[in-house]
């Protein structure tokens, strides 16, 4: 199943989500409107809200609260992007200037706070304590992941286990929450709810692992950033960690120094080490394993085009090029 087919399945739902996002973005503070619209309309895949919609529909949910939850998930995701770009001092995302590059760090952080608080207003409006429980836990875990990543920056002794813990909390948690909430709305059995949560978790891990691989295997024209952006920020992601683990002593020492100092000055040395150790292939293989776990988790759901679409999203997560 192609991405275009998946989008067609939830086309009307996604239109409703987009309309609700624009409606709930409104504020009488002009700068909030400007920054909020800029980041929300920046060309993202809307993958996380799509998972909420598909998960609910896979359990034959017929109401409209999945629209609200999909918008909430997108607001939380957008808030994390605003904060991430400030922390990472990024100036480009998806081939556009980041919000902090346009309006400054203070505005980006504060509008991110607005989106967080607006998302919780929307949760309260729904009047479902289970929704509040899942998403309050998720946002807390995401914040923990951000702090853990900060601790790993410029640390050449970061382990693969520490790396996985960061992406589990920072990225996979929101995927997990979105798919779990689709199950909650669909009044799933406890087994089905856990299966959908497992699906989201493994999908999110696969998605982030591939994202980290793309940082060393594609051009800035394709994904809107420069090769080695993570390295410049001193982030020891999986391709680097693998190259350090199996590379020569000289390569390990060179990579340690690059991680400690950050920057892109020695990108040629880094790329040579990654290529000679097949680190990208190793990274892709681990992502594929996570995608397979995600697909296996879906087998507890009844057969439907929506379950097929969730399966296809797992495949998409590991074969994407942007």
Q: Phi and psi at residue 164, in whole multiples of 5°?
A: -65, -35
For residue 232, what pLDDT is reported?
A: 79
Instruction: Give per-residue pLDDT as tens, 241-264.
Output: 999 999 999 999 999 998 998 777
CB under 8 Å to 104, separation ≥6 — which residues? none
- Is residue 6's pLDDT more than 60? yes
For residues 234 and 28, which has the higher predicted lDDT (pLDDT)? 28
Average pLDDT along the chain:
91
Q: Give residue-wise pLDDT tens across range 297-320.
A: 999 999 999 999 999 999 999 988
Q: 68 — alpha (psi -120 to 50), left (phi > 0) or beta? A: alpha
Q: What is the token pair recorded at 303?
A: 């057969």
Indicate if the pLDDT at residue 45 is higher than 90. Answer: no
> Higher confidence at residue 145 or residue 1?
145
Average pLDDT over residues 126-151: 95
If pLDDT is split at 50, 70 and 90, which confidence band does 219 have?
Answer: very low
The CA dihedral of 174, 287, 252, 217, to the nearest 10 degrees, is -100
Nearest to 158 by CA among 224, 226, 59, 241: 241
Predicted local confidence at residue 220, as pLDDT: 41
**Segment 140-168, tens digit of pLDDT:** 999 999 999 999 999 999 999 999 999 99
The phi, psi pair for 104, rounded to 5°, reads 100, 160
At residue 170, the pLDDT reads 95
pLDDT higher than 90, residue 237: yes
Span 33-42, average pLDDT: 86
Residue 261: left (phi > 0), alpha (psi -120 to 50), or beta? alpha
The residue to which tokens 């990024």 are assigned? 90
**CATH fold of 3-319, please?**
Farnesyl Diphosphate Synthase (1.10.600)
- Locate all alpha helices (DSSP H) within the chain, ordered by sequence: 3-9, 11-25, 30-40, 47-58, 65-87, 99-103, 105-126, 129-152, 160-167, 173-185, 190-214, 220-223, 229-232, 238-246, 249-261, 267-276, 279-297, 305-319
pLDDT digits (tens, 9 = 90+) for 80-101: 999 998 988 888 777 788 899 9
């Amino acid at each position: 199943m192609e991405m275009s087919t998946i989008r067609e399945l939830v086309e009307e739902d996604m239109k409703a989500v987009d309309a609700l996002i624009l409606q709930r973005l409104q504020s009488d503070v002009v700068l909030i409107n400007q920054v909020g619209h800029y980041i929300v309309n920046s060309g993202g895949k809307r993958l996380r809200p799509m998972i909420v919609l598909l998960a609910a529909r896979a359990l034959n949910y017929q109401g409209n609260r999945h629209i609200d939850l999909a918008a909430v998930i997108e607001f939380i995701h957008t808030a994390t992007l605003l904060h991430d770009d400030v922390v990472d001092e990024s100036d480009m995302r998806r081939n556009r200037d980041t919000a902090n590059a346009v309006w400054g760090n203070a505005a980006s952080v504060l509008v991110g706070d607005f989106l967080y608080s607006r998302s919780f207003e929307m949760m309260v409006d729904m009047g479902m304590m289970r929704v509040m429980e899942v998403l309050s836990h998720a946002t807390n875990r995401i914040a923990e992941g951000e702090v853990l990543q900060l601790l790993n920056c410029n640390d050449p002794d970061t382990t693969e286990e520490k790396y996985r813990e960061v992406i589990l909390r920072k990225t996979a948690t929101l995927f997990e929450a979105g798919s779990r909430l689709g199950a909650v709305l669909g009044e799933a059995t406890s087994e089905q709810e856990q299966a959908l949560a497992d699906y989201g978790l493994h999908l999110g891990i696969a998605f982030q692992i591939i994202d980290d691989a793309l940082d060393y295997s594609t051009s800035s024209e394709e994904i809107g950033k420069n090769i080695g952006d993570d390295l410049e920020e001193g982030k020891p992601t999986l391709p680097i960690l693998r190259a350090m683990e199996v590379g020569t002593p000289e390569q390990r020492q060179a990579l340690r120094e690059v991680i400690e100092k950050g920057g892109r000055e020695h990108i040629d040395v880094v790329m040579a080490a990654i290529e000679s150790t097949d680190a990208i292939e190793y990274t892709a293989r681990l992502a594929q394993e996570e995608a397979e776990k995600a697909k296996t988790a879906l087998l507890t759901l009844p057969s439907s085009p929506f379950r097929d679409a969730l399966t296809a999203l797992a495949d998409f997560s590991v074969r994407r090029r942007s």
